[in-house]
């Protein structure tokens, strides 16, 4: 592949990714552009780290990321709520509520 063909291909790829970003940002009219760009850059960084799995569909990617967060929060909350100290404190609190 010649240098000119490679340069043309790189420009086309850059334009395609730019148009995707522009489309994603314009699809979120209720969110300010700066916030949308920041959220998309965070999600992209997490996809590159392997934290978020990119699905070639923005909606599915976001839904999967939300699902992963939900599972992680549920695991952490379950651990806290099963802790003996927490259960003791919760019992005391409920006892105080019943005295009212």
Any idea where the domains of the chain sit in the sequence?
1-30, 32-100
> Are the C-beta atoms of 64 and 52 separated by less than 8 Å?
yes
**Between these two residues, 29 and 79, which has the higher pLDDT value?**
79
pLDDT at 83: 93
> Are the C-beta atoms of 61 and 54 separated by less than 8 Å?
yes
> Are the C-beta atoms of 58 and 24 separated by less than 8 Å?
yes
Instruction: Give this prediction's pTM.
Output: 0.48
Please, which pLDDT band fits residue 46 given cuts at 50, 70 and 90?
Answer: confident
pLDDT at 81: 92
Please, which pLDDT band fits residue 50 given cuts at 50, 70 and 90?
Answer: confident
């Amino acid at each position: 592949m010649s240098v000119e063909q490679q340069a043309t291909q790189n420009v086309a790829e850059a334009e395609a990714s730019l148009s995707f970003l522009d489309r994603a940002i314009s699809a979120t009219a209720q969110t300010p552009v700066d916030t949308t760009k920041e959220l998309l850059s965070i999600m992209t960084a997490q996809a590159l780290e392997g934290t978020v799995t990119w699905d070639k569909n923005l909606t599915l990617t976001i839904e999967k990321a939300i699902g992963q967060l939900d599972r992680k929060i549920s695991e952490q909350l379950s651990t806290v709520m099963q802790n003996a100290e927490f259960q003791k404190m919760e019992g005391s609190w409920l006892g105080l509520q019943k005295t009212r």
